[in-house]
Amino acid sequence: GENVEQHPSTLSVQEGDSAVIKCTYSDSASNYFPWYKQELGKRPQLIIDIRSNVGEKKDQRIAVTLNKTAKHFSLHITETQPEDSAVYFCASSGSARQLTFGSGTQLTVLP
């Protein structure tokens, strides 16, 4: 089955700096790569997703890049704010078309 690895497990940045979280996947048939944000005590919520027919997608301060050849994708958050502090999960669809999640990254934005 699909295997998704996510790094780093924890990330601290100063407010206003950028944050980058990286994921690799194993199944070359994967074609859908979402990112979820989970605030403390809350449910995961989708923040951005990308499909395999594009290499980059941007939504305000958030962007995702995809390299299908290398089988990795990354989340970029610019001009970080304290409310960006949360756990972020990447996921990949795999050939079974069910989502497999990475292990998560705890992002802390320091004021």
Partner 1 sequence: GAGVSQSPSNKVTEKGKDVELRCDPISGHTALYWYRQRLGQGLEFLIYFQGNSAPDKSGLPSDRFSAERTGESVSTLTIQRTQQEDSAVYLCASSFSSGANVLTFGAGSRLTVL
Q: Taking CB under 8 A as the rule, does residue 111 contact partner 1?
A: no
3 part of the interface to partner 1, by CB under 8 A:
no
Contact flag: residue 66 with partner 1 (CB under 8 A): no
Is 45 among the residues that bind partner 1 (CB under 8 A)?
yes
Contacts 24+ apart (CB under 8 A), 69-75: 70/24, 71/24, 71/25, 71/26, 71/28, 71/30, 72/22, 72/23, 72/24, 72/25, 73/22, 73/23, 73/25, 73/33, 74/20, 74/21, 74/22, 74/23, 75/19, 75/20, 75/21, 75/23, 75/35, 75/48
Cβ nearer to partner 1, comparing 6 with 65? 6
Measured from the CB atom, is 40 or 70 closer to partner 1?
Answer: 40
Binding track, positions 12-31, relative to partner 1; x by CB under 8 A: -------------------x
